[in-house]
């Protein structure tokens, strides 16, 4: 048997299942269990990276048919460049996270058994890989459910707390509403591909071959998009995300936020570009508009949070929005038959997919290290951790700079590419779009600037200043396993930012296959140095020169000033003669975001109360001041509460049938029989 | 020839480092005159910087490496931005390193780290400054990009040198879209460089300071670098505006006469911009922070109008 990328990735899936099978043998020694399982998971991820990189780099497409599953419905597997790209993203992050887990999960030793965490972690990874490998609707949905169920149990891991159970329940409901929509979408496509007489239409190949009438294609697309949007956390289906991600163990949050959401992006790209193939422009407009709304709302909600992991979870909503902006633009350009620009949009979206996986994984790992060290998730109780945890602080800072889209790190590159795609929109033939699309660029700029504000807050309040809590716990730095996972993720963020041309050259095959053209980013001599997506005169960006340029000036300034340096005197903080400065007087996360809360307050459901307790008769000198603030998602009131109330109403109505008297139930059976006799003669 | 282009590049950097304090001195001098005070002369900023360089540093006990690294980074991004914006000539070897979007992002890095440094010491002033600065920036940045996108739609490029080329070749003469974008740019430049009515560079009053609050704890060479960088930032915003809206005078080729002519033109423009800036600053009072939404909102609206008029009229 020859070695193919598909074979390597399948081997990686088998290795993950092997790790699961080993669990009963190792269960008694938890320490050994952790080392073995996560080492196997790392090895499997490494194999997956090789397979994925090879499939994209060599433009290889392999297929395989497994004779398992239902009779006459075997499983189809396929690894093509698009799948290979997502496999690379998944495996790259899961490699880092598995290394990190070797240290992180040891924190649970002695507190609770970790067997279920280890089992479902590996099944979860395998599930994600199978989703990407699947080449028929049946296998895809099975893998999709495996992934959803495994992640449900991971969210439920610390199930003694009510908020965890509530979050997991919400998650599984939204996941299943999404799965039903995807199932219906595949049903439409399969049915139209071969008719409803035989079953061969369930393969993706049959769907690719088929020509769909527009109204059915639209129905299939909208259903699939609804399903995938529920998984990706697109506004307004995002509410499960800020509940479920913070309560899961941090290594799992990193994977869920970093890569599980990306399987939904994969689904959207696969269904729209590959399976359906042709579409009208307004599909892309829907994706674009929802992407913009998610981006802006996600970052604004993130700014209001003071729970570190919840803040990061809302940023996932934002970044999924940015990815969808790229993909939506690409769909619009494709429908107007402008393949070059469509390829640019798609590359921007996919590059951001990769980038978001890396920096969000890094940030969640950093938040996990902080949680591990301080047992605290609330930023209002933190501060000054940069002195106790220098490694974690520096690595978390790299994550913050990357996600805030600042050069020379990776978040900037994808945002820059998206801006370029936006600026090319005047080439579109529709005047309405010409006018509206540049406004989208402004919203994207707003998102980027607000994200920077949010991460100044997140990093500043967590790591800088003084410890804000009442008593300082014994904080320790993350161990070397955790550090190595974070260092590798940070390094990848840096490389993706400084050498984007190499990565884009590598993945250029994907638009080539889906849209029919490459973007060819590098041109001229020293091509790898310059990112020139359209033409040299149109726009160019050179990550290496920006980085080296800043570095040179910084080093030169430092050296010149240190030829004869003035002394540095360490002194206490200047307290303006007040003398009673304490750590509670620092700016907190809530006060940092106050101006933004006031400016964009109409988007939130805010309740703010200030209560003064007067000191006897002297009203001007209050004894105590209580400040109460509650910021809630408006979508709960608009969308979810009505649904919840409606379902309660329906159950109450149905509940009336329950009389508790045997006569009533006999009458029900009698009526049922009569009805059946009348209608199904 | 290749080497010669690098000479121009270094010349431009030297002008940036050398002329920026003089421009600030010129603005301060005009301001003194307009308020009926005696001025310290155009060269006072040089003396200030030199004095700060020779002083010792007083560093708060809990300042981390971020606090000490930020001045160098802020200085570095300002110098790099100066190497990219065409001031004298379009023949800059590293101009294609970055387009306008990257330039905006370079200023954003400096701001990001300054805001972090403001929070590093853990005083209320620093946090207050950081919070306000980031709020204002998050409103100003979209407006800034909209204004610049209007120009780049007209010139079909986001590269500054290319924008200048297009204006030179007469493809865009006087266009209404550019006029709108220009006014928007003025409003944003006032906000980004911390001038009245958004922020007052001369104030150290708790309730009103923004940029000064963040850098309140700096001293010695750190403060010198930050002050110098903020002078360069003001200078660079003038140059950015000049390159995008009124590039006449910038040399297209690299010969000596054209470049010295460009230098004269540049000084002339700086003198004029200084006068206009002082007229704006003396004519207006500093705004309340929550009125800034309207100020920056109108900048955004102007930029959007510019873009609409581009599509409708041109």
Domain range list for chain B? 2-313
**CB interface of A with B, residues 368-387, below 8 Å:** 383-384, 386-387
Q: In the structure, what pLDDT confidence band is assigned to residue A255 with cuts at 50, 70 and 90?
A: very high
Q: What is the CA radius of gyration of chain A?
A: 27
Residues written for chain B: 314
> What does the DSSP assignment read for chain B?
-HHHHHHHHHHHHHHHHHHHHHHHHHHHHHHHHHTT-----TTHHHHHHHHHHTS-EEEETT--HHHHHHHHHHHHHHHHHHHHS-SSBS--TTGGG--HHHHHHHHHHHHHHHHHHHHHS--HHHHHHHHHHHHHHHHHHHHHHHHHHHHHHHHT-S-HHHHHHHHHTTSS-S-HHHHHHHHHHHHHHHHHTT-TTT--TT---TTT-SHHHHTTT--HHHHHHHHHHHHHHHHHHHHHHHHHH--TT-BSS--HHHHHHHHHHHHHHHHHHHHHHHHHHHHSPPPPGGGHHHHHHHHHHHHHHHHHHHHHH-
Q: Are A385 and A463 in contact (CB under 8 A)?
A: yes
Q: Which residues of B touch A434 (CB under 8 A)?
A: 311
CB contact under 8 A, A587 and B119: yes
Give pLDDT, residue B173.
61
> Does position B254 have pLDDT exceeding 80, yes or no?
no
CB contact A549 to B (< 8 Å): yes
Chain-centre distance for alpha carbon A574: 43
Give pLDDT, residue A497.
93
Residues written for chain A: 681
CB contact under 8 A, B59 and A406: no
CB contact A537 to B (< 8 Å): yes
Give the residue with greater pLDDT, B149 vs A576. Answer: B149
> Does position A523 have pLDDT exceeding 60, yes or no?
no
* B72, B99, B126 ranked by CB distance to A554: nearest: B72
Alpha-carbon gap: B1 to the closest alpha carbon of chain A (Å) = 17
CB contact A524 to B (< 8 Å): no
Q: Quick one: average pLDDT of A405-419?
A: 92
CB atoms within 10 A of CB A110: 7
Q: Are A133 and A83 in contact (CB under 8 A)?
A: yes
Q: In the structure, what pLDDT confidence band is assigned to residue A531 with cuts at 50, 70 and 90?
A: confident
Q: Which residues of A touch B56 (CB under 8 A)?
A: 566-569
| Token pair in block for residue A664 | 């009533």
CB atoms within 10 A of CB A165: 15
Q: In the structure, what pLDDT confidence band is assigned to residue A329 with cuts at 50, 70 and 90?
A: very high
> Does position A631 have pLDDT exceeding 90, yes or no?
no
CB contact under 8 A, B57 and A566: yes
> Does position B1 have pLDDT exceeding 60, yes or no?
no
**Could you tell me the CA-to-CA distances from A472 to A107, A476, A586 in Å, in that order?**
19, 12, 16
Q: Are B97 and B84 in contact (CB under 8 A)?
A: yes
Give pLDDT, residue A193.
82
CB contact under 8 A, B80 and A546: yes
Q: How many Cβ pairs within 8 Å bridge chains A and B?
A: 251
> Does position A146 have pLDDT exceeding 90, yes or no?
yes
β-strand partners of A613 = A624
Best probe of the B interface among A425, A472, A539, by most B CBs < 10 A, is A539
Q: Which residues of A touch B74 (CB under 8 A)?
A: none
Alpha-carbon gap: B33 to the closest alpha carbon of chain A (Å) = 33
Give pLDDT, residue A153.
94
CB contact under 8 A, B162 and A537: yes
Give pLDDT, residue A526.
59
* A438, A446, A558 ranked by CB distance to B149: nearest: A438
Residue with tokens 């020839």: B1
Measured distance CA(A142)–CA(A75) in Å, rounded: 10
Q: What is the CA radius of gyration of chain B?
A: 19
Q: Which residues of B touch A302 (CB under 8 A)?
A: none
Q: Quick one: average pLDDT of B119-128?
A: 90
Q: Quick one: average pLDDT of A452-478?
A: 89
Measured distance CA(B10)–CA(B4) in Å, rounded: 10
Residue with tokens 């309740």: A607
Residue A47 CB partners (closer than 8 Å, separation 6+):
A8, A9, A11, A12, A15, A91
What digits encode the pLDDT tens for the residues B224-248? Answer: 999 999 999 999 999 999 988 888 8
Mean of the per-residue pLDDT values of chain A: 90
Measured distance CA(A585)–CA(A601) in Å, rounded: 25
Measured distance CA(B28)–CA(B22) in Å, rounded: 10
Nearest chain B Cα to A386, which residue?
A: B64
Residue with tokens 């149990």: A153
**Could you tell me the CA-to-CA distances from B171 to A562, B155, B314 in Å, in that order?**
50, 8, 12
Give pLDDT, residue A681.
66
Q: Quick one: average pLDDT of B262-268?
A: 92
Measured distance CA(A351)–CA(A411) in Å, rounded: 9
Domain range list for chain A? 294-518+571-599, 635-679
Give pLDDT, residue B154.
82
Q: Are A116 and A157 in contact (CB under 8 A)?
A: yes
Q: Quick one: average pLDDT of B85-97?
A: 82
> What does the DSSP assignment read for A565-584?
PPPEEEEPPP-TT-----GG
What is Dmax (Cα atoms) for chain B?
A: 60
Measured distance CA(B174)–CA(B179) in Å, rounded: 8
Alpha-carbon gap: A567 to the closest alpha carbon of chain B (Å) = 5
Q: Which residues of B touch A386 (CB under 8 A)?
A: 64-66
CB contact under 8 A, B80 and A596: no
Q: Are A328 and A268 in contact (CB under 8 A)?
A: no
Give the residue with greater pLDDT, B151 vs A128. Answer: A128
Give pLDDT, residue A521.
65
Nearest chain B Cα to A454, which residue?
A: B134
Q: Are A37 and A23 in contact (CB under 8 A)?
A: yes
> How many helical (H) and strand (E) elements, i.e. helices and strands, does chain A have?
27, 5
Nearest chain A Cα to B159, which residue?
A: A539
Alpha-carbon gap: A561 to the closest alpha carbon of chain B (Å) = 8
Q: Which residues of B touch A566 (CB under 8 A)?
A: 54-57, 220-221
Percent of chain A with pLDDT over 90: 59
Measured distance CA(A573)–CA(A595) in Å, rounded: 26
| Token pair in block for residue A309 | 């992991």
Percent of chain B with pLDDT over 70: 98
Q: What angle do CA A246, A325, A133 make, to 5 degrees?
A: 70
**Could you tell me the CA-to-CA distances from B176 to B149, B156, B181, B186, B310 in Å, in that order?**
14, 17, 9, 16, 8
Interface pTM (ipTM) of the complex? Answer: 0.95
> Does position B187 have pLDDT exceeding 90, yes or no?
yes
CB contact under 8 A, B289 and A530: no
What digits encode the pLDDT tens for the residues A279-325? Answer: 899 999 999 999 999 999 999 999 999 999 999 999 999 999 999 99
CB atoms within 10 A of CB A562: 10
Best probe of the A interface among B97, B188, B218, B232, by most A CBs < 10 A, is B97
Alpha-carbon gap: B281 to the closest alpha carbon of chain A (Å) = 25
> Does position A433 have pLDDT exceeding 60, yes or no?
yes
- The alpha carbon dihedral of A514, A519, A520, A521 has a sign of negative
Best probe of the B interface among A385, A399, A401, A407, by most B CBs < 10 A, is A407
Q: What angle do CA B166, B169, B173 make, to 5 degrees?
A: 80
Chain-centre distance for alpha carbon A380: 25
| Token pair in block for residue B145 | 């990009």
> Does position B314 have pLDDT exceeding 70, yes or no?
no
Nearest chain B Cα to A531, which residue?
A: B97
Measured distance CA(A326)–CA(A120) in Å, rounded: 33
Q: Which residues of B touch A595 (CB under 8 A)?
A: 131-132, 135, 289-290
Q: Are A528 and A501 in contact (CB under 8 A)?
A: yes
Q: Quick one: average pLDDT of B106-124?
A: 93
Per DSSP, A516 falls in state S
CB contact under 8 A, A573 and B60: yes
| Token pair in block for residue B264 | 């004269």
Q: What angle do CA A45, A48, A54 make, to 5 degrees?
A: 145
CB contact under 8 A, B139 and A599: yes
Best probe of the A interface among B74, B135, B188, by most A CBs < 10 A, is B135
What digits encode the pLDDT tens for the residues A102-123? Answer: 999 988 888 888 999 999 999 9
Q: Name the range with the highest mean pLDDT among A357-366, A536-545, B284-293.
A: A357-366
Measured distance CA(A233)–CA(B76) in Å, rounded: 39
Q: Quick one: average pLDDT of A28-51?
A: 93
CB contact under 8 A, A591 and B308: no
Q: Which residues of B touch A397 (CB under 8 A)?
A: 66
Give pLDDT, residue A332.
93
What digits encode the pLDDT tens for the residues A156-198? Answer: 998 888 989 999 999 999 999 999 999 999 999 988 887 767 7
> Does position B171 have pLDDT exceeding 70, yes or no?
no
Q: Are A123 and A150 in contact (CB under 8 A)?
A: yes
Q: Quick one: average pLDDT of A115-134?
A: 94
CB contact A412 to B (< 8 Å): yes
Closest listed residue to residue A341, CA positions, set A409, A437, A222, A212? A437
Per DSSP, A499 falls in state -
Best probe of the B interface among A521, A537, A585, by most B CBs < 10 A, is A537
**CB interface of A with B, residues 568-627, below 8 Å:** 568-575, 581, 583, 585-587, 591-596, 598-599
CB contact under 8 A, B146 and A545: no
Alpha-carbon gap: A425 to the closest alpha carbon of chain B (Å) = 10
Give pLDDT, residue B310.
84
Residue with tokens 């704006």: B280
CB atoms within 10 A of CB A484: 16
Alpha-carbon gap: A458 to the closest alpha carbon of chain B (Å) = 10
CB atoms within 10 A of CB A354: 22
* A452, A536, A586 ranked by CB distance to B96: nearest: A536
Q: Which residues of A touch B58 (CB under 8 A)?
A: 569, 571
Q: Which residues of B touch A383 (CB under 8 A)?
A: 122
Best probe of the A interface among B10, B17, B105, by most A CBs < 10 A, is B105
């Amino acid at each position: 048997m020859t070695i193919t990328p598909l074979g390597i990735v399948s081997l990686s899936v088998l290795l993950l299942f092997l790790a699961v099978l080993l669990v009963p043998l190792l269960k008694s020694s938890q320490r050994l269990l952790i080392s073995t399982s996560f080492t196997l998971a790392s090895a499997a991820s490494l194999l997956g990276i090789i397979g994925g990189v090879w499939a994209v780099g060599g433009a290889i497409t392999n297929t395989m048919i497994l004779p398992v599953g239902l009779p006459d419905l075997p499983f189809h597997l396929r690894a093509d460049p698009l799948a290979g790209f997502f496999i690379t993203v998944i495996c790259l992050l899961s490699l880092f996270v598995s290394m990190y887990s070797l240290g992180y999960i040891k924190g649970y030793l002695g507190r609770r058994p970790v067997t279920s965490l280890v089992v479902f972690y590996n099944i979860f990874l395998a599930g994600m890989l199978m989703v990407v490998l699947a080449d028929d609707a049946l296998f895809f949905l099975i893998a999709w459910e495996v992934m959803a169920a495994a992640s449900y149990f991971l969210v439920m891991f610390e199930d003694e707390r009510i908020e965890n159970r509530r979050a997991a329940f919400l998650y599984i409901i939204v996941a299943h509403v999404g799965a039903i929509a995807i199932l219906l979408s595949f049903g439409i496509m399969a049915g139209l591909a071969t008719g409803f007489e035989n079953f061969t239409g369930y393969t993706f190949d049959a769907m690719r071959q088929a020509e769909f009438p527009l109204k059915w294609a639209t129905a299939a697309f909208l259903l699939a998009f609804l399903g995938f949007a529920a998984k990706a956390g697109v506004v307004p289906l995002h509410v499960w995300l800020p509940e479920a991600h913070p309560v899961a163990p941090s290594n799992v949050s990193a994977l869920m936020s970093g890569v599980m959401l990306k399987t939904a992006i994969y689904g959207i790209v696969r269904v729209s570009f590959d399976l359906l193939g042709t579409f009208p422009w307004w599909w892309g407009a829907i994706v674009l508009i929802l992407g913009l709304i998610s981006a802006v709302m996600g970052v604004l909600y993130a700014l209001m949070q003071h729970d570190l992991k919840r803040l990061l979870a809302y940023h996932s909503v934002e970044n999924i929005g940015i990815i969808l902006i790229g993909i939506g633009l690409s769909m619009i350009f494709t429908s107007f038959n402008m393949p070059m620009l469509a390829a640019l949009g798609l590359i921007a979206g996919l590059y951001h997919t990769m980038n978001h996986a890396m920096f969000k994984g890094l940030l969640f790992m950093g938040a996990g290290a902080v949680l591990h060290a301080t047992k605290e998730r609330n930023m209002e109780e933190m501060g000054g951790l940069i002195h106790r945890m220098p490694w974690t602080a520096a690595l978390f800072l790299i994550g913050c700079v990357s996600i805030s889209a600042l050069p020379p790190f990776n978040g900037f590159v994808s945002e820059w590419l998206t801006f370029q795609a936006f600026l090319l929109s005047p080439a579109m033939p529709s005047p309405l779009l010409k006018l509206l699309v540049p406004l989208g660029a402004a919203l994207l700029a707003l998102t980027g600037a607000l994200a920077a504000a949010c991460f100044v807050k997140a990093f500043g309040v967590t790591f800088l200043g003084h410890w804000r809590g009442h008593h300082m716990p014994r904080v320790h730095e993350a161990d070397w396993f955790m550090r190595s996972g974070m260092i590798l993720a940070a390094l990848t963020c840096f490389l993706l930012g400084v050498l984007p041309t190499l990565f884009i050259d590598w993945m250029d095959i994907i638009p080539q296959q889906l849209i029919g053209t490459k973007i060819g980013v590098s041109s001229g001599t020293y091509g790898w140095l310059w990112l020139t997506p359209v033409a040299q005169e149109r726009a160019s960006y050179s990550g290496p020169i920006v980085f080296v340029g800043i570095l040179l000036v910084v080093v030169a300034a430092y050296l010149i000033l240190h030829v004869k340096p003035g002394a540095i005197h360490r002194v206490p903080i200047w307290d303006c003669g007040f003398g009673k400065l304490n750590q509670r007087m620092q700016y907190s996360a809530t006060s940092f975001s106050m101006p933004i809360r006031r400016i964009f307050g109409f988007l939130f459901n805010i309740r703010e109360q200030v209560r003064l307790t007067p000191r006897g008769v002297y009203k001007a000198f209050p004894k105590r001041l209580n400040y109460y603030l509650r910021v809630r998602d408006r979508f709960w009131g608009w969308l979810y509460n009505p649904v919840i109330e409606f379902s309660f109403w329906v159950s109450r109505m149905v509940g009336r049938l329950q009389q508790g008297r045997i006569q009533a139930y006999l009458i029900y059976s009698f009526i049922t029989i009569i009805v059946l006799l009348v209608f199904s003669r | 020839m290749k080497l010669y282009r690098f000479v121009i590049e270094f010349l431009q950097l030297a002008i940036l480092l050398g002329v920026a304090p003089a421009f600030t001195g010129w603005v301060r001098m005009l301001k003194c005159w307009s308020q009926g005070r005696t001025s310290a002369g155009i060269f006072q900023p040089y003396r200030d910087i030199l004095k700060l360089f020779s002083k010792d540093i007083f560093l708060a006990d809990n300042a981390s490496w971020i606090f000490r690294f930020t001045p160098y980074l802020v200085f570095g991004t300002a110098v790099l931005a100066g190497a990219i914006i065409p001031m004298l000539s379009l023949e800059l070897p590293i101009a294609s390193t970055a387009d306008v979007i990257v330039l905006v992002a370079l200023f954003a890095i400096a701001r990001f780290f300054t805001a972090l440094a403001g929070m590093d010491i853990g005083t209320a002033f620093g946090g207050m400054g950081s919070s306000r600065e980031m709020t204002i920036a998050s409103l100003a940045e979209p407006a800034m990009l909209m204004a610049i996108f209007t120009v780049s739609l007209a010139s079909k490029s986001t590269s500054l040198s290319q924008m200048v080329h297009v204006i030179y070749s007469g493809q865009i003469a006087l266009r209404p879209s550019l006029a709108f974008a220009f006014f928007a740019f003025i409003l944003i430049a006032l906000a980004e460089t911390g001038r009245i009515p958004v922020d007052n560079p001369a104030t150290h009053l708790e309730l009103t300071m923004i940029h000064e609050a963040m850098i309140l704890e700096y001293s010695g060479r750190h403060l010198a670098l930050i002050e110098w960088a903020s002078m360069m930032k003001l200078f660079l915003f003038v140059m950015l505006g000049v390159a995008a809206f009124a590039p006449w005078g910038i040399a297209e080729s690299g010969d000596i006469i054209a470049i010295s002519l460009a230098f004269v033109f540049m000084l002339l423009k700086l003198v004029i911009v200084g006068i206009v800036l002082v007229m704006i600053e003396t004519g207006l009072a500093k705004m309340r922070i929550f009125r800034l939404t309207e100020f920056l909102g109108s900048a955004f609206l102007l930029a959007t109008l510019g873009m609409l008029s581009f599509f409708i009229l041109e």
